[in-house]
Structure 1
């Protein structure tokens, strides 16, 4: 099965996590930026998951799941150890929903990749479920090559790009300027500020 990698904003999407164990907890941790839209459906929760739910004020429906819990969901995470429940959710999920089937990846239509995040920089790594261990190994290899200053540096690149777009210069010159600060990275915060001030004076 072919999967198209992309980044999505789930800010206004309904997210339903079905399950109350360790796997559900891992998924919740990944989805916490959208905590206001999350509902967990499970008769019980592990102690650590219960603490997360209480800490972040996550909605918890304390019962076995049925169709009403997920029929309007945009993203459904199937994370139980009950084959009957898992099968029921997969078979009755809305056709428009994204489904992450943690028990059997091919039963769903999305995977949660291993990710690296440094501020605005995001890198997703997936082996299509073939080897999560290899995905983590690749992650560690990439992280070792990313300078510690990258988060601040990418914020600088963002500011520089917004500034250069406003300059009254040709498009090729704009592209050349942006290329230069990538080919010759400016990591020092002092040098970044000097670079920004230089071009602000040209506006």
Structure 2
């Protein structure tokens, strides 16, 4: 069996169709919120959460049975109904360039959504290749404790300082030292990262003789 190829997809502006309106579909929709995708749910009925998201303008709910035309311009399709027959029909309706995942048949899907931990810009995916979703869930719980909410602000700090260093620092040695030094437990734990960065910068300037 060939192994899967892990990727992080940028879905901003892309149409993603979720067929189904139950709890499984609701979880798929929830995971898509915040990606910038144009989420469309196709189902005669939907959970209260899906209906609320539709009324709030966060997604589109087409209150109708599935038809092949519903996925014509979709980038990704989630077949998340409680009918294996319908899910298979959805798969047969896709075009060669489209990707579909079947909620009840991961092995016959083009992709699947792994267990993951999200901390701001930090995204950690966990997959056992279908061997044990329970183990994947346990590992996710461990990572959630190891990488807590403090990483959200820390990643924002790293992004900001990396951009500044790459654009403003011309000395290659100083640039390398700064980029390496800010990725440290000291900066992660610091409550005064900006001040600490200035001190680091001045210290390294002195060290390399600038």
Gaps of 5+ in 1: none
Distance 2:10 2:37 in 1: 13
Q: Within the alignment, does 1:2 sit opposite 2:9 as a pair?
A: no
SS in 1 for 2:100: strand
Q: Which residue of 1 aligns with 2:208?
A: none
* Deviation (angstroms), 1:80: 0.5
Which deviations, in whole Å up to 9, do the C-alpha atoms of 1:108-158 show, x marking residues without a partner?
Answer: 111111111111111111122222211110011122222542222222222
Q: 1:173, 1:16 → 2: CA distance? A: 48
Deviations 1:37-72 (A, max 9, x none): 111111111233323332344211111111110122
Alignment correspondent of 1:188: 190
CA contact (8 A) 1:36 1:58 kept: no
- Cα root mean square deviation, aligned: 2.2
Aligned counterpart, 2:142: 141
In structure 2, relative to structure 1, the CA distance for the partners of 1:109 and 1:73 (3 Å cut) is: same
Mapped to 1, the partners of 2:121 and 2:3 lie a distance apart of 27
For the 8 Å contact 1:42–1:63, the answer to whether it is kept is yes
Q: Say if 2:119 and 2:149, in contact at 8 Å, map to a contact too.
A: no
> In the comparison of the two structures, how many residue pairs are matched?
200
Counterparts of 1:155 and 1:34 in 2: how far apart (Å)? 18
* Aligned-pair CA distance for 1:34: 4.3
Distance 1:139 1:71, change over 3 A: same
Equivalent in the alignment of 1:43 = 44
Give the aligned partner of residue 128 of structure 1.
Answer: 129
Q: Quick check: 2:14–2:37 contact (8 Å CA) kept in 1?
A: no
Answering whether residue 119 of structure 2 is matched by residue 97 of structure 1, we say no
- Give the equivalent residue in structure 2 for 1:112: 113
Q: Distance in 1 between matches of 2:47 and 2:181?
A: 52
Distance change in 2, residues 1:35/1:160 (3 Å): closer
Q: For residues 30-69 of structure 1, what are the structure 2 equivalents within 5 Å?
A: 30-34=31-35, 37-69=38-70
SS in 2 for 1:100: strand
Aligned with 2:182: secondary structure?
helix
Aligned to 2:179: 178
Aligned equivalents of 1:64, 1:157: Cα separation in 2: 47
The equivalent residue for 1:19 is 20
* Contact residue 35 and residue 58 of structure 1 kept, 8 A: no
- Aligned-partner Cα distance in 1 for 2:53–2:159: 34
1:158 aligns with 2:159: yes
